[in-house]
């Protein structure tokens, strides 16, 4: 691509003037960059900001986090979703403390759980000024629009791998951290998935998709295949206590989390349908029908671990997924 120096300069000038003032940018450190990058995977800035501030107040360093319990870490993360990120962040802090030094190479960072090519490049460039480009979904969108790339990609990951060479060429090697953050910021605020704000974009003079008049058509992806999953659960409420199932700490998914029990976890017939909960995780669409038991007395007599009767007043202290907390609150209100 021609005019790369002018493009880099326009991008950097825009970022320095227009960027949002975010705590990990204003008070940068390797630890703050790592925490923010883990929280930003799959999550918008506005959602994760209060979590980031709470987290940094509780555990302001790798050393402090390494001492935290898995239960406290999950509890602080609850509501943010994709909980393996919290467990991996704790393991990463423990590994850095054990290492006794901050790794100075992207390959070393990639040895840690939860750190892929993008996160390693983000940490190395933003916190350590190492010249490496980050490529995620936002940056794929900008790169395909800039170049008017008509190829059809399987998904964002395969597009990121295919576009890595172009993004490394695009990199401002004198200011790699700000360059990467500028592209992240541009993707989040200006070069949006639908209705990109080309009139406000510093890259407009260089952008083929904008010149085509239909930038929102880029990038091209194969259609996604969604799967539907139906689950049935019980809402057993008696004497101001609620029956919940607790996932074991070694469980692959939702370790340590409480949920409404599945119907098959109890030897009791279903009563009335109380609520139909819906949620999506990646390409899975869940529909969760929540029933009352036919007779609550039969349930009360037969429950044992991992099922627990939890006093309603203690629910706030438990670690629940966001959808389950919302559904339980709605059912308790009704």
Residues serving a catalytic function are 37
Q: Applying CB under 6 A, does 183 fall inside the site for ligand SF4?
A: no
Q: Applying CB under 6 A, does 196 fall inside the site for ligand SF4?
A: yes
Q: Applying CB under 6 A, does 293 fall inside the site for ligand SF4?
A: no
Dihedral (Cα; 201, 207, 209, 213), 10-degree rounding = 60
Residue 211: CB minimum distance to ligand SF4, A: 9
Give the integer Cα–Cα distance in Å for 246 and 328.
15
Q: Applying CB under 6 A, does 96 fall inside the site for ligand SF4?
A: no
Q: Which of 11, 190, 266, 299 binds ligand SF4 (CB under 6 A)?
A: 190
Say which residue the tokens 């799967």 belong to: 227
Q: Which residues contact 39 (CB under 8 A, 6 or more apart)?
A: 48, 51, 52, 55, 80, 85
SS3 of 128, please? helix
What does the block give as tokens for 122? 């983000």
CB 310 within 8 A of CB 247: no
User: Which window, 30-38, 199-207, 229-237, 308-316, contacts ligand SF4 (CB under 6 A)?
Assistant: 199-207
Q: Applying CB under 6 A, does 207 fall inside the site for ligand SF4?
A: yes
- What φ, ψ does residue 320 adopt, rounded to 5°? -125, 150
- In the range 131-150, which residues lie near ligand SF4 by CB under 6 A? 142, 145-146
User: Which window, 150-158, 194-202, 251-259, 307-315, contacts ligand SF4 (CB under 6 A)?
Assistant: 194-202
Residue 200: CB minimum distance to ligand SF4, A: 8
Give the integer Cα–Cα distance in Å for 274 and 28.
48
- Nearer to ligand SF4 (CB atom), residue 8 or residue 246: 8
User: Which window, 101-109, 206-214, 239-247, 249-257, contacts ligand SF4 (CB under 6 A)?
Assistant: 206-214
User: Which window, 128-136, 204-212, 230-238, 255-263, contacts ligand SF4 (CB under 6 A)?
Assistant: 204-212
Say which residue the tokens 């609150």 belong to: 329
Give the integer Cα–Cα distance in Å for 102 and 118.
18
Residue 174: CB minimum distance to ligand SF4, A: 22
Q: Applying CB under 6 A, does 191 fall inside the site for ligand SF4?
A: yes
**Helix (DSSP H) and strand (DSSP E) numbers for the chain:** 15, 9
Q: Applying CB under 6 A, does 10 fall inside the site for ligand SF4?
A: no
Q: Applying CB under 6 A, does 203 fall inside the site for ligand SF4?
A: yes
Residue 78: CB minimum distance to ligand SF4, A: 35
Give the integer Cα–Cα distance in Å for 5 and 21.
26
User: Which window, 25-33, 156-164, 196-204, 293-301, contacts ligand SF4 (CB under 6 A)?
Assistant: 196-204
- What φ, ψ does residue 309 adopt, rounded to 5°? -85, 115
Residue 141: CB minimum distance to ligand SF4, A: 7
Q: Of 237, 242, 234, which Cα lies nearest the Cα of 262?
A: 234
Give the integer Cα–Cα distance in Å for 5 and 135.
19
Q: Which of 103, 114, 215, 277 binds ligand SF4 (CB under 6 A)?
A: 215
Residue 47: CB minimum distance to ligand SF4, A: 23
Q: Exposure string (b/e) for 191-213, b if CB count within 10 Å is 16 or more?
A: beeeebebeebbbbebbebbeee
- Nearer to ligand SF4 (CB atom), residue 205 or residue 311: 205
Residues that bind ligand SF4 (CB under 6 A): 142, 145-146, 190-191, 196-198, 201, 203-204, 207, 209-210, 215
């Amino acid at each position: 691509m021609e005019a790369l120096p002018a493009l880099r300069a326009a991008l950097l000038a825009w970022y320095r003037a227009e960027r949002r003032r975010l705590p990990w940018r204003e008070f940068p450190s390797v630890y703050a960059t790592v925490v923010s990058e883990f929280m930003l995977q799959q999550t918008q800035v506005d959602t994760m900001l209060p979590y980031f501030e709470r987290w940094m107040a509780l555990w302001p360093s790798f050393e402090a986090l390494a001492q935290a319990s898995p239960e406290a870490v999950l509890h602080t993360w609850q509501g943010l979703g994709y909980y393996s990120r919290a467990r991996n962040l704790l393991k990463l802090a423990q590994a850095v403390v054990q290492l006794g030094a901050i790794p100075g190479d992207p390959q070393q960072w990639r040895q840690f759980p939860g750190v892929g090519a993008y996160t390693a490049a983000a940490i190395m460039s933003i916190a350590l000024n190492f010249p490496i480009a980050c490529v995620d979904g936002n940056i794929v969108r900008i790169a395909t629009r800039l170049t008017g790339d008509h190829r059809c990609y399987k998904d964002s990951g395969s597009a990121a791998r295919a576009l890595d060479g172009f993004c490394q060429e695009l990199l401002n090697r004198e200011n790699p951290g700000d360059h990467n953050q500028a592209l992240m910021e541009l993707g989040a605020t200006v070069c949006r998935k639908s209705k990109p704000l080309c009139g406000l974009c510093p890259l407009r003079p260089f952008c083929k998709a904008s010149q085509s008049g239909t930038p929102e058509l880029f990038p091209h992806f194969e259609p996604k295949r969604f799967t539907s999953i139906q689950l049935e659960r019980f809402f057993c409420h008696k004497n101001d206590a609620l029956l919940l199932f607790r996932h074991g700490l070694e469980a692959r998914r939702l370790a340590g989390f409480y949920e409404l029990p599945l119907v098959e976890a109890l030897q009791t017939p279903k009563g009335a349908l109380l609520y139909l909960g819906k949620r999506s995780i990646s390409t899975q669409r869940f529909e969760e029908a929540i029933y009352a038991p036919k007779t609550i007395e039969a349930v009360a007599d037969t429950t044992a671990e991992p099922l627990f009767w939890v006093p309603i007043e203690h629910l706030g202290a438990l670690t629940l997924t966001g959808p389950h907390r919302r559904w339980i609150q709605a059912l308790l209100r009704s």
